[in-house]
Copies of this chain bind each other. A is one copy, B any other.
Amino acid sequence: MPKAHNVRPASALERTLHRLEDLCRERGQRLTRPRRAVLAKLLSARRPLSAYELLDLLRSEDGRSTAASVYRTLDFLMALGIVHRLESTRSFVLCEHPDGPHWVQFLICRRCGQVVEAEDERVAAATERLGQRLGFALDQHIVELTGVCESCRGSRAPH
């Protein structure tokens, strides 16, 4: 009986690192230690981190990271499309749909800080159409929507 490749479900970290590996190979980019490390930290944080929060986490186990290296690494991962930057909070978060380029919208709860990454056709179509109407050939779309999430509204804290 042939052994199926690997039946154990890969951990989220393993899957994400494999994705990074593949992307690097495809594009002839190097897979280095800081790149792996930043990805791992963003994954285990499970929320957006500022560059300096990330730096502190990395230093706590490596000691040699610097602001410059963190920003370089984030730029790299963003170019691969597996990390996004939240402009309104100056923070960075792991992509939840890292299967190729996509236009993404973020919903941010101002109460609990929860961030949801959406890929809404309708919003993408509407912005694209707006671009056309005004003569712009769009190549990037930043959509960050702030409000109060369902569970925060449920718990009837005023404001």
Residues of chain A touching chain B, judged by Cβ–Cβ distance below 8 Å, are 87-88, 105, 107, 109-110, 116, 118, 120, 122-123, 125-127, 129-131, 133-150, 153
Q: How far is the CA of A148 from the CA of B139 in the complex (A)?
A: 8
Q: Are B141 and A130 in contact (CB under 8 A)?
A: no
Return 14 A-B CB contacts under 8 Å, by A number. A87-B142, A105-B127, A109-B136, A110-B139, A130-B145, A131-B145, A134-B150, A136-B150, A140-B145, A141-B144, A141-B146, A142-B142, A142-B144, A143-B143
Q: For the complex, what is the distance from the CA of A49 to the CA of B159, rounded to whole Å? A: 33
Complex interface: chain B residues within 8 A of A133 (CB) = 120
User: Is B146's CB under 8 angstroms from A139's CB?
Assistant: yes
Contact B140 A129 (CB under 8 A): no
A137–B118 CB distance below 8 A: no
- Complex Cα distance, B152 from A139, in Å, reads 14
Instruction: Write the nearest CB–CB distance from A36 to chain B, whole angstroms.
Output: 29
Question: Smallest CB-CB separation from A140: which chain B residue?
Answer: B146
Whose C-beta in chain B lies nearest to the C-beta of A110? B139
> In the assembly, what is the distance between CA of A116 and CA of B77, in Å?
30
Residue pair A137, B153 in contact (C-beta under 8 Å):
yes
A142 touches B143 (CB 8 A): yes
Q: Is the CB of A145 within 8 A of B150?
A: no
A130 in contact with B126 (CB, 8 Å): no
CB of A154, distance to nearest CB on chain B (Å): 9
Supplied contacts A137-B147, A143-B143, 17 more A-B pairs, CB within 8 Å: A87-B88, A87-B144, A107-B130, A107-B131, A109-B136, A118-B130, A120-B126, A123-B126, A136-B145, A136-B150, A138-B145, A138-B146, A139-B147, A140-B145, A140-B146, A141-B143, A142-B144
